[in-house]
Structure 1
């Protein structure tokens, strides 16, 4: 397979999964806004930092500071084409990549991506409003899952499919850490310190729900939601498909089916070891956001090794 085609397949699957999880990230804040009493201060600005777009947001909206409104942040995360990681940018990028490699994937995939693109164009501004936001997010998530289902059901299990799977696994691991980061980044400020634990647990319940993980959490953990248990489940559970551990194990199972590149294996093993050795109780007592940043750096290093090994030929 040409390195250019492999690169496009890898990034196509990453952009589709990024679009879905960007919508889910906005869902964390939207669910919390619905659940929290009006007396509790809710800050949207930290969400921009979790996707690594803080500098771009500050440059575009210099007067907002930390008091950015939900409409400004949600529009920036979902629709702003100047934000390279926005939902619209991800879908646009996936669509442009697919336009160039349409002969390698089923026609139904192109139709599904085009439907998503047209839906965002027609309903994006409506989806920013609180009244219709969850409906918009659900529709985007369903559309992205439809693309993933079509790829899984209708694509031959050749080397191209392995690059699709690899892109999905790495992007999901990265976005799960970013959604965890959002849950740990001080979105909620209670007026009374005695209420902090209760609101913190509500915050982590929203994180689980946004990742479609709440029911599986209850099935595996069988305890009330807490920071420690949520972190252990989302980081280290080996059976839930959106957990970081599951995604990295999938990547490990894919690499032996591809041409050997020792640098790629080493990069992946480092981040796997970091996750396996993490202590959720210790992370819960400190600030989990710092650890999430560390994982993201290691995932970036792994991606760089992957690009050097397979896409630069």
Structure 2
């Protein structure tokens, strides 16, 4: 397979996962905001910080006192100047797909075009009318449909392995970023509020829900939602397919099926070791965002090793 085609398959899979996870996170936050009492401040800014686009947003909208939550939502969904927005990620996925249409089922292109028409034709109207929940639900459904089509209709050749590689890496990265957003404080209760602990639990429940993990959390952890329990489940669970450890382990299972690239395997083992050896109780009591930042740096280094090992020879 040409390295250009492999690179495009890898990034197409990454962009699809990025779109789905961003829609899940924004949808869960939108629902959480509706459920909170008025005395609690809800802030979407941590989402922009975890995606490293907060400085760009402030540059466009002014200081913190001048922006609104609706502006953050529009920036996260529709802004083409935001490289992490739903619209930007989807434009990138669609552009990549054009160059690999000959190796992908026609149904993939049809579904991607349906998503394109939804975002371009109705996205702004749905946000303005308070129907963002419907928009996010539709994007998530189409993302799951695409995942199903890829798994059911694509031959298990080397191209499929690059699709798996991209999906595993992106899901590990997005799970760490969603945890980071929750740990950074989407909810700000007044200091001393007797329900402050309950609000924190509600915030972590929203993180679990954004990753479709609440039911599996209850089934396997059999505990009330807390920071340490949620961190343990989303970081280290062996069976939940969106946990960071599960995704990185799946990536390691793909690497032997690809051309030999020792640097990729070494870097993958480094980040797996970091996640496996983390102490969720200690992290929850201190600052989980620092660990998430370290994981994201290791994931970025792994992406660099993949690019050098497979696409830039």
**Fold match by TM threshold 0.5:** yes
Instruction: Kindly report which structure 2 residues correspond to 1:125-274, keeping only aligned pairs within 5 A, or say none.
Output: 125-129=124-128, 131-193=130-192, 194-274=194-274
Measure the CA separation in 2 of the matches of 1:129 and 1:236.
39
Partner of residue 24, structure 2? 24
Partner of residue 48, structure 2? 48
SS in 1 for 2:116: helix
Partner of residue 117, structure 1? 116
Residue 44 of structure 1 contacts residue 69 of structure 1 at CA under 8 Å; is this kept in 2? no
Measure the CA separation in 2 of the matches of 1:291 and 1:178.
11
Measure the CA separation in 1 of the matches of 2:214 and 2:202.
12
Q: Does 1:276 align with 2:276?
A: yes
Residue 50 of structure 1 contacts residue 178 of structure 1 at CA under 8 Å; is this kept in 2? yes
Question: TM-score normalized by structure 1?
Answer: 0.97
Partner of residue 58, structure 1? 58
Measure the CA separation in 2 of the matches of 1:312 and 1:66.
45
Shift of 1:126: 2.8
Question: TM-score normalized by structure 2?
Answer: 0.97
Q: Does 1:90 align with 2:121?
A: no
Residue 204 of structure 1 contacts residue 230 of structure 1 at CA under 8 Å; is this kept in 2? yes
Measure the CA separation in 1 of the matches of 2:250 and 2:263.
18
Structure 2: where are the runs of 5+ without partners?
Answer: none
Deviates more, 1:174-183 or 1:29-38: 29-38
Structure 1: where are the runs of 5+ without partners?
Answer: none
Residue 45 of structure 1 contacts residue 66 of structure 1 at CA under 8 Å; is this kept in 2? no
Aligned residue pairs total: 312
Measure the CA separation in 1 of the matches of 2:118 and 2:203.
30
SS in 2 for 1:131: coil
Residue 234 of structure 1 contacts residue 242 of structure 1 at CA under 8 Å; is this kept in 2? yes
Measure the CA separation in 2 of the matches of 1:136 and 1:48.
19
Residue 24 of structure 1 contacts residue 137 of structure 1 at CA under 8 Å; is this kept in 2? yes
Cα gap change, 1:130 to 1:268, in 2 (>3 Å): farther
SS in 1 for 2:38: coil
For each residue in 1:167-208, what CA deviation from the matched residue of structure 2 results, as whole angstroms up to 9, or x when unmatched?
Answer: 000000000011111111122111242322110000000111
Instruction: Kindly report which structure 2 residues correspond to 1:274-313, keeping only aligned pairs within 5 A, or say none.
Output: 274-313=274-313
Measure the CA separation in 2 of the matches of 1:59 and 1:212.
33
Measure the CA separation in 2 of the matches of 1:130 and 1:281.
42
Residue 53 of structure 1 contacts residue 83 of structure 1 at CA under 8 Å; is this kept in 2? yes
Residue 45 of structure 1 contacts residue 67 of structure 1 at CA under 8 Å; is this kept in 2? no
Cα gap change, 1:29 to 1:68, in 2 (>3 Å): farther
